Amino acid sequence: MTRIFFLLTGLLLCSSAAWCGETFELPPLPPPEEFGNIVINRNSTRNGLLPVVFPHWKHRTKYTCRVCHTELDFNMKANTTEIREVANRKGKYCGACHNGKKAFKLNGNCDKCHSGDINSGSEKFAEFSKNMPHTSFGDRINWVEALKTGVITPQNYLKMEPGDLPFDKDLVLEAGWGGIVPAVFSHKTHMGWLECSSCHPDIFNIKKKTTAHFSMAYILKGKFCGACHLKVAFPMDDCKRCHPGISRN
Ligand code: HEC
Ligand code: HEC
Ligand code: HEC
Ligand code: HEC
Ligand code: HEC
Ligand code: HEC
């Protein structure tokens, strides 16, 4: 009885934080408009330019995390990715989008990225966040709710969107060595059963073509096609279905 009494008073007192004993040293939070803004400065100031400021809020309205952190190879640690001006110009990293097609191009827009100001874009943020569902911390935008209610519809893949791909065209997967009849893969057939994420990017990476690593040895270990074509989808014995040109079976 007394035990229960102490337990109850303990719980009551605990609702005033000072009595709980347990306090956590949380890192200080930046103001909402700067939350998720990353300063990138591996080579900028060294080359006479201001550091780059990358705003996550702006980008996550349009792309899911995996677009950048899987497809485009940005690390999830600031200043660890070797983003270089030349790479951007070749269409890698920022340049995968900042090419005047998906987003503003590099030329003539140096200061938009090399702003050196972690607060840059704050007016746009204020305008944007007014119409978003709210929470209490960080950038104070409830992104889960925003996604669920369709206020934002970020793209899950960059290089393609279902619909604007030649999915009717079969992919011809060439063997690593010469003289081997290629395997044929049809997106269309598979999409009757699966979705993009069943295979991309975990089983097949789109950007770094998996093809060079396809081999029957891997497939038979359950990788690539073997993730399905050993146990559930028709098994590997049916050579001809994947290699229409093969003479056997
Ligand atoms: C879309 C954003 C963006 C734009 C626009 C942009 N840059 Fe960059 N740039 C970057 C990023 C990110 C880095 C890597 C920053 C770092 O590590 O310091 C970078 C790095 C650089 C570097 C450092 C040296 C190197 O080899 O990487 C130079 C020089 C540079 N940019 C020049 C320019 C010039 C000149 C322009 C305008 C013609 C420009 N950039 C426009 C994003 C941009
Ligand atoms: C348009 C591209 C893009 C999108 C989309 C994106 N990020 Fe990033 N993220 C970056 C870049 C660029 C960096 C900095 C990488 C570097 O400097 O090496 C970064 C860095 C990070 C970091 C490290 C922060 C730090 O201070 O070290 C985390 C964590 C992170 N991102 C998480 C996410 C999450 C979670 C999402 C989805 C909600 C997301 N990112 C969406 C491009 C993106
Ligand atoms: C996956 C595509 C994608 C990648 C990768 C990407 N951006 Fe963007 N970025 C966009 C789009 C789309 C916009 C908004 C449209 C526009 O402003 O042209 C944008 C806008 C911006 C803005 C303007 C924000 C504002 O206040 O309006 C900055 C700054 C920026 N990006 C910097 C970067 C930097 C730096 C990198 C690389 C570290 C990068 N972006 C990589 C697509 C991308
Ligand atoms: C589920 C589809 C699938 C089936 C079934 C299949 N293969 Fe393959 N096979 C592939 C793919 C994909 C590759 C890699 C691309 C290529 O070499 O054409 C490959 C590669 C090969 C290669 C090239 C060398 C190697 O080891 O990668 C040979 C030889 C081969 N297959 C023979 C066969 C034979 C014999 C059968 C029947 C016993 C068979 N395959 C059944 C998909 C399949
Ligand atoms: C059953 C598995 C599977 C599914 C589901 C799937 N893919 Fe693929 N996809 C592949 C394979 C295998 C390749 C060839 C990979 C390689 O060559 O490395 C590929 C390649 C691609 C490529 C590169 C094409 C080229 O010509 O280089 C794109 C783009 C792509 N897939 C987009 C999608 C999209 C979008 C969806 C959903 C609508 C999807 N895929 C669903 C297996 C799949
Ligand atoms: C995520 C699972 C999955 C992966 C990975 C996968 N497939 Fe399939 N595939 C299926 C399913 C399910 C079917 C429907 C037929 C069945 O269940 O036997 C199918 C059917 C096929 C067909 C029959 C097409 C037709 O019109 O009859 C071929 C050929 C084929 N797959 C080749 C491949 C090749 C080649 C790869 C690897 C590059 C691959 N598949 C990877 C699940 C998969």
List CB contacts of 110: < 8 A, sequence separation 6 or more. 49
Residue 80 near ligand 1, beta carbon < 6 Å? no
Residue 238 near ligand 4, beta carbon < 6 Å? yes
- The length of the chain in residues reads 249
pTM to 2 decimals?
0.69
Q: Whose CA is nearest to atom 24 of ligand 5?
A: 206
Task: Give the CATH number of the domain where residue 220 resides.
Answer: 3.90.10.10
User: What is the widest separation between alpha-carbon atoms in the chain?
Assistant: 84
Mean pLDDT of the chain: 84
| Pairwise CA distance, residues 249 & 246, whole Å | 8
| Other beta carbons within 10 Å of 137 | 9
Residue 115 near ligand 1, beta carbon < 6 Å? no
- Determine the residue of 187, 219, 248 to mutate for testing ligand 4's pocket, defined as the one with the most ligand atoms within 8 A of the Cβ atom: 219
Same domain for 194 and 133: no
Is pLDDT at 60 greater than 50 in this prediction?
yes
Residue 234 near ligand 6, beta carbon < 6 Å? yes
> Residue 118's pLDDT is what?
97
Tell me which of 34-38, 117-121, 133-137, 190-194 is least confident. Answer: 190-194
Is pLDDT at 19 greater than 50 in this prediction?
no
Q: Whose CA is nearest to atom 40 of ligand 2?
A: 65
Q: How many domains does the chain have?
A: 2
The tally of CA atoms less than 13 A away on the side-chain side of residue 161 is 6
In a domain, 4, yes or no: no
pLDDT in tens, 168-187: 678 888 765 666 778 999 98
In a domain, 9, yes or no: no
Same domain for 211 and 136: no
**211 lies in which domain range?**
171-242
pLDDT in tens, 83-117: 999 999 999 999 999 999 999 999 999 999 999 99
Same domain for 183 and 90: no
> Residue 215's pLDDT is what?
82
Is pLDDT at 78 greater than 60 in this prediction?
yes
Residue 183 near ligand 4, beta carbon < 6 Å? yes
For residue 190, give the ligand 5 atom closest to its CA.
1
pLDDT in tens, 125-173: 999 999 999 999 999 999 999 999 999 999 988 875 555 555 667 888 8
